[in-house]
Amino acid sequence: MTSAALNIAVLYPDLLNLYGDRGNARALERRCTARGIDALVTAVNIGDDWSPQSADIILAGGGQDREQRRVQADLQRRGSALRDYVDDDGVVLAVCGGFQLFGNHYRGWDGEIMEGIAVFDAVATHPGPSVSRCVGNVVALWEGETVVGFENHGGRTYLNDGQDPLANVVSGFGNNGGDGLEGARVDNAFGTYLHGAVLPKNPHLADRLLQLALQRRYGSDAPELQPIDDRTARRAHAAALHSALSTRDSRESRLGRRFA
Ligand code: GLN
């Protein structure tokens, strides 16, 4: 087979880019290039003439309520094409504000509902400005491995019955700080609250997205993902893990002291 290629689309990169979420595209691109796979990254902005059918991986980052409101109508008009793409095993990574809008709806801090595109069977609700936000480092268990990231969200996501989470929280809040669940997964669509950006410091998750996209596009001709020198990414993962777990341990020992 001649060299493989992947099209990576980033939805609203100027508006949904909290904590450098656009870095997810850079990480995928870099991991492709290091293996001789061509990666073409396309920005999709409000009003652009673009079809999800041209994509192998679609990324949506986080944004505050104001930015979410700005993209919402445009995302809605693409909703059915995006759902078809997911039904056709298209790969998606939607982070935080993007994750909320890929659910059924998000009720923002002012109580107004923003309709989502219902890729995930989940609703997100912001309990209002007087309630603390979910902020800090997160560690979650995903398929027996750790994923790490940073979260900062007021909205709480609740998965409806039958909707699988992406991962289970080890440390941090995750979807809502109550049920121990992090993110959601439908076919090859991944939703998560993890910023970071998440893929540069979770190389195993990045490779999973690439692998799924290559399999979908090339079937049995899909190239194997060869190991690459990603020591920096693995060090970033280890450092984030250490920092998240030591914050949790010191918080627990403070609480333990107080309530002992
Ligand atoms: N605006 C949303 C919230 O606060 C999402 C924030 C984010 O993407 N970090 O819940």
Residue 259: the pLDDT is 37
The pick from 96, 102, 158, 175 for probing ligand 1's pocket by mutation, whose C-beta has the most ligand atoms within 8 angstroms, reads 96
Confidence of residue 46 (pLDDT cuts 50, 70, 90): very high
Residue 249: the pLDDT is 67
The strand pairing partners of 91, in sequence order, are 57
Residue % of the chain over a pLDDT of 70: 95
Q: Give the residue-averaged pLDDT of 128-151.
A: 96
Find the catalytic residue in 96, 105, 134, 237.
96
- pLDDT, the chain, mean: 95
pLDDT in tens, 85-106: 999 999 999 999 999 999 999 9
Q: Regarding predicted confidence, which is higher, 173 or 251?
A: 173
* Alpha-carbon span 186 to 82, nearest angstrom: 13
Task: Give the residues surrounding ligand 1 with Cβ less than 6 Å away.
Answer: 18, 62-65, 68, 96-97, 126, 152-155
On whether the CB atoms of residues 77 and 29 are closer than 8 A, the answer is no
The DSSP call for residue 179 is: S
Nearest residue CA, atom 1 of ligand 1?
64
Q: CA dist 132 to 28, 96, 117, 171, 173, Å?
A: 33, 16, 27, 17, 12
pLDDT in tens, 225-250: 999 999 999 999 999 999 989 877 66
Report whether the peptide linkage leading into residue 222 is cis, meaning its omega lies within 30 degrees of zero: no
Supply 120's token pair.
Answer: 């995930």
pLDDT in tens, 53-90: 999 999 999 999 999 999 999 999 999 999 999 999 99
User: Ligand 1 center to residue 63 CA distance, Å?
Assistant: 6
Residue 93: the pLDDT is 98
| Residue numbers of the domain that contains 32 | 4-259
Residue 253: the pLDDT is 60
* Alpha-carbon span 61 to 206, nearest angstrom: 15
User: Ligand 1 center to residue 252 CA distance, Å?
Assistant: 26
Tokens 């609740």 locate to 158
Find the catalytic residue in 126, 153, 195, 237.
195
CATH of the domain at 153: 3.40.50.880
Residue 252: the pLDDT is 62
User: Ligand 1 center to residue 177 CA distance, Å?
Assistant: 14
User: Ligand 1 center to residue 249 CA distance, Å?
Assistant: 26
Burial class, 42, CB count within 10 angstroms (exposed 0-12 / middle 13-18 / buried 19+)? middle
> Which atom from ligand 1 is nearest to the alpha carbon of 65?
1
Task: State yes or no: pLDDT of 136 exceeds 70.
Answer: yes
List the alpha helices (DSSP H) in 4-62: 23-33
The pick from 100, 110, 195 for probing ligand 1's pocket by mutation, whose C-beta has the most ligand atoms within 8 angstroms, reads 100
Nearest residue CA, atom 5 of ligand 1?
97
Confidence of residue 257 (pLDDT cuts 50, 70, 90): very low
* Whether residue 195 lies in the annotated active site: yes
* Whether residue 96 lies in the annotated active site: yes
Number of folded domains in the chain?
A: 1
Among residues 73, 68, 12, the alpha carbon closest in space to that of 44 is found at 12
Strands 167-171 and 181-182: what pairing?
antiparallel
Q: CA dist 124 to 147, 153, 206, Å?
A: 22, 11, 25
Q: Give the residue-averaged pLDDT of 138-151.
A: 97
Task: State yes or no: pLDDT of 256 exceeds 90.
Answer: no
What count of other Cβ atoms lies within 10 Å of the Cβ of residue 222? Answer: 17
For the whole prediction, is pTM greater than 0.85?
Answer: yes
User: Ligand 1 center to residue 250 CA distance, Å?
Assistant: 26
> Which atom from ligand 1 is nearest to the alpha carbon of 19?
9
Q: Which residues contact 102 (CB under 8 A, 6 or more apart)?
A: 60, 82, 92, 94, 116, 117, 119, 120, 189, 191
The pick from 70, 105, 152 for probing ligand 1's pocket by mutation, whose C-beta has the most ligand atoms within 8 angstroms, reads 152
Confidence of residue 44 (pLDDT cuts 50, 70, 90): very high
Strands 105-107 and 122-125: what pairing?
parallel
